[in-house]
Structure 1
Amino acid sequence: MAAFLDRRDPENIEDSAERFGDRAGGWLDVMAAAGDLHPITRACMGFHLWGLAGLGGHDDLMEAAVTASRIAASDGSGAIFAPLAMGGAGGLRVSGLPPERLAHWLDGMNSAILTATRTLDDIEAWTARAETIMAQLSGRTPVALRNTFSQWPLVSAPMAESMTGASRAAVQRNLAWMEAKGLTREVTGQGRYRMWRIDTEGMRTGRNA
């Protein structure tokens, strides 16, 4: 677990690793004892026991949430993570009695799953639309760039270069073309370090070039 979380203490790495290993071992023992619970319920349990076991800093819920999202997806479906916060942070509340926390957890996960499903539907519809609009373009860069946008929520020009293997000029030219056609939009509003994402709003409103 220490390796998975990349836990390192530059001041005293050996002592820190030993203390973390002891605390993690206790947490793992409790989680193993709850093996008959559904993975989503176990994930909630593990999330709320994380801080009590001394595994996270004060108000630091990131490691607990990441670990819980792995547990929730451990039902053999092939998923790596279960969405937790896509529908808001309601499922990550740390106050209330255990039944209330579980109810918030289930409601939050349900909301996150619905949001994730809508996002996947939007990406599928965008991909079909992009294939039609970009059919007039030749070469491998447009196809590779379209695939990149379908797999990542935000894309920068350097990232696009790395993902597609295309030159900077080719990437910049295709990014500008896709933005002009309403397929993507720049989200930073800056002249440097810009990021693009697929334009699902334009797709819903029927905006097209």
Structure 2
Amino acid sequence: MTGCCRNSRPDASECAAWSEQARAATAGIKGDNAARVIAVLAARPFVSAMEMETRAGISRPTAERMLKRLHDLGLTREVTGNRRFRLWTTEI
């Protein structure tokens, strides 16, 4: 199973639908950072900004901004409730 599927065990079509929805919602964002972040979230059940930085090959501030932006679009949620060392997941 892919990462987002391991979290709540939706079927593969739900994972694909989330990825498609996320790409459509971020189509207006310049560059490929949004696509990189979406790919990481689709492959990992939970991800921190630090892990996103490494896996997506983007800076930590960019990772934090993109995770927040996806959250504001209703595509991700923060699951730890902390101000530091937060973990993010897809909103399926």
Q: Same fold (TM over 0.5)?
A: yes
- Percent identical across equivalent pairs? 30
Whole-angstrom distance in 2 between the partners of 1:158 and 1:132: 25
Cα offset, 1:193, TM superposition: 1.1
Is it true that 1:145 corresponds to 2:13 in the alignment?
A: no
One-letter amino acid of the counterpart of residue 57, structure 2: G
Which residue of 1 is the match for residue 57 of structure 2? Answer: 165
Gaps of 5+ in 1: 1-85, 87-114, 201-209
Could you say which structure has the greater relative contact order, defined with CA pairs below 8 angstroms and 6 or more residues apart? Answer: 2
**Which of 131, 146, 159 matches 2:23?**
131
Structure number, greater radius of gyration: 1
The number of aligned residues is 87
Q: Give matches, 1:58-69, under 5 Å.
A: none
Query: What whole-Å deviation, never above 9, does each CA across 1:31-59 have from its counterpart, x for those lacking one?
Result: xxxxxxxxxxxxxxxxxxxxxxxxxxxxx
Whole-angstrom distance in 1 between the partners of 2:78 and 2:27: 22
Is it true that 1:180 corresponds to 2:64 in the alignment?
A: no
Across the aligned residues of Structure 1 and Structure 2, the Cα RMSD in angstroms comes to 1.8
Gaps of 5+ in 2: 1-5
Report the structure, 1 or 2, having the larger helix content: 1
Cα offset, 1:120, TM superposition: 2.0
Which residue of 1 is the match for residue 46 of structure 2? Answer: 154
TM-score if structure 1 supplies the norm length? 0.39
Whole-angstrom distance in 1 between the partners of 2:65 and 2:26: 13
